[in-house]
Amino acid sequence: MEPILQVQHLTHTYSVGTPFQRSAVEDMSFDVYDGEFLGIIGHTGSGKSTLIQHLNGLLRPTSGQILLHGKDIWAEPKKIRDVRFQVGLVFQYPEYQLFEETVYKDIAFGPTNQGKTGEELDRCVREAARLVGIRDDQLGKSPFELSGGQKRRVALAGVMAMEPDVLVLDEPTAGLDPAGRENLMANIRDYHRNKKRTIILVSHSMDEIAQNVDRILVLKSAHVLMSGAPAEVFARADELLSAGLDVPQVTRIAMGLRERGLAIDPAVYTVEALERELLALREGGAAC
């Protein structure tokens, strides 16, 4: 499988030449594959926000490269705007960026700037609205009449409507209640399944990451600490905890059961997996 994005020896240093000089990202390299659902986790200050702002050219590397479809996104600086249409970035609390008089116009803002008009524009707007659960009768309303969760959906739809090859989501469920978080993640899963587009999800919620992504990238102190499928990463729960990170609640329960002598697989990170382990033990598995 060919990578759609390649991060090659990326370093970004702030305040170069001053006493406050520091590298938020240092010699970081990894690939992101077409159609992949990648999760990025790391404690505050690990480099997550700086990293994702490089993926669509909001920040320029101090050194290293970002390749999109095999081409350095900064090879032609005057075309960096086109990169931002291909790699859509949804910031944390994107509802604060809504400004148009109707929901329809807010969703249409990005694709209009791409040059879409008429039936093509209308299709993109209405399709994106449906994907995030915005009804047709809400499109004529002011976005400021909507609830916080609905505003979040409008902002997300505005990026989806540009039909980017890669959708980057920075803490998309921050500040929502549990029902709102799950509803929004269900919308994002539907988008991934229906559109087959690449999604990069940055989240502090280990349960959110565990339940949704194909692969996890763990950052620590401006570097990649580990990378792998959720089972591989959460099997190293002790390392994650020692790095100041959390693990899914189910993984904590599994760790506690192992400490009490039960032979539970260290790679358990979902309720279903833990249930299978416990049933296997009840049906004849021996305790440690």
Q: How far apart are the first and last CA of the chain?
A: 41
Q: What is the pLDDT of residues 7-40, one digit of tens each?
A: 999 999 999 889 889 999 999 999 999 999 999 9
pLDDT of 286 > 50? The answer is no
CB neighbourhood size of 70 (10 A) = 10
Contacts of 155 (CB under 8 A, 6+ apart): 90, 94, 95, 97, 98, 106
Average pLDDT over residues 44-59: 93
Phi, psi (degrees; rounded to nearest 5) at 160: -60, -35
Provide, for the chain, the percentages of residues in helix, strand and coil under a 3-state DSSP scheme, each rounded to the nearest 5.
45, 20, 35
Tell me the residue type at 247.
V
Contacts of 175 (CB under 8 A, 6+ apart): 93, 148
Structure tokens at 56: 């669509």
Q: Are 249 and 230 in contact (CB under 8 A)?
A: no
Average pLDDT over residues 78-106: 92
Q: Does pTM surpass 0.95?
A: no
Distances (CA, A) of 191 to 98, 198, 202: 21, 10, 17
Res. 102 pLDDT band, cuts 50 70 90? very high
Stated as kind and residue range, the H or E segment containing 182 is helix 178-195
Between CA 266 and CA 139 the distance in angstroms is 48
Sort 77 into a burial class: Cβ within 10 Å, 0-12 / 13-18 / 19+.
exposed
Strand ranges across the sheet with 22-33: 22-33, 3-14, 63-68, 71-72
pLDDT of 136 > 80? The answer is yes
pLDDT of 108 > 90? The answer is yes
Mean pLDDT of the chain: 92
Between CA 92 and CA 120 the distance in angstroms is 29
Residue 288: predicted pLDDT: 41
Q: What is the pLDDT of residues 208-261, one digit of tens each?
A: 999 999 999 999 999 999 999 999 999 999 899 888 888 999 999 999 998 898
Residue 285: predicted pLDDT: 53
